[in-house]
Amino acid sequence: MSLTFFPSPRAHPALNFEAVQEAFVAHASSLEGQWITSAFDLYSVETLRDRLGLRNGRAVPADVFVWGQGEPKDRTLTKVGGLPYWVAETPWPEKDGKPLLFLAQFNFKDSEDLVGDLPGEMLLIFTDEGFTWMSGEPSGLHLEWVRIGTKRLTVDRLVPKPKVHFFKGYGIIHRSADYPEAEEAARGATGVAQARNLPLLHGTKIGGVPAGGRVKIPKGGRFLAQLGSIQAASGVDYPWVNRPRPLGLTFDANGIHGETNQLMIGDMGSLSLFLKADGSVGWEVGSG
């Protein structure tokens, strides 16, 4: 079974949600308000929204991502870790004379109707080795706009490697929406764990409404995207879209707590990105 469309109708691999529903229908009686990493998490959120009547009020469209693991052939995809879409002739970003690490990149080509005109088609995110931005250090994060073209890209041996490994993978896109006016109803829902997470998509997304705490977007600015903490669902098929076998609760490569199966932003937090009125990109770390 494939959970994606082939060929994809979008620039990213696109999730086939009907196939997702078929794959996880047996779990329909035991769902929670999940943080979204795996296809099962998205199935849980969308199913419970319908079941609890939480698609009410204003719908704010969003492109949400579930994840495939490993290095994709297409370097332009929204992704975490690994090889960035970085032109070889462009100097690599540094902080205090030390090369930064590539953290993630967002490709906005599928989402232009959500975010409007931007300085580039892709936004690349670099971090210092200590991830000091999680504690509020502004210089610990570096952002670069890039336009997609035909120039030669940097190769793997020239990309700085992290001392502590984290998840490396690529995004599979799904058009959904946030329902900010349904938050009060979700807080009153009973019988569903973490129901408060259901109105807003807690995970990695472009567009919509920032989740995980109220992000203060300056006057004249607009929300762009959110990089959510990544941790695969355990005990279900397709923890990664390209991995059919379940992951356990262990701390190795076969468990969701293994370092290569997760990227933690604080305590299951998120990094929200917004465009300021002057064209620069601001960011804020949200809690879980």
pLDDT in tens, 79-133: 999 999 999 999 999 999 999 999 999 999 999 999 999 999 999 999 999 999 9
Give the model's confidence band at 150: pLDDT under 50 very low, under 70 low, under 90 confident, else very high.
confident
Q: Residues 91, 236: contact at Cβ < 8 Å?
A: no
pLDDT class of 288 with cuts at 50, 70, 90: low
SS3 assignment, position 260:
helix
Distance between CA atoms of 216 and 272, rounded to whole angstroms?
Answer: 10
Domain covering 17-286 in this structure, CATH number: 2.30.320
Q: Which residue matches tokens 């960035």?
A: 84
pTM for this one? 0.96
* Continuous segment of H or E residues that includes residue 39: helix 39-51
pLDDT digits (tens, 9 = 90+) for 19-46: 999 999 999 888 999 899 999 999 999 9
Q: What is the pLDDT of residues 3-26, one digit of tens each?
A: 999 999 999 999 999 999 999 999
Domain boundaries, the chain: 17-286
217-235 burial code (b ≥16 CB/10 A, e <16)? beeebebbbbbbbbbbbbe
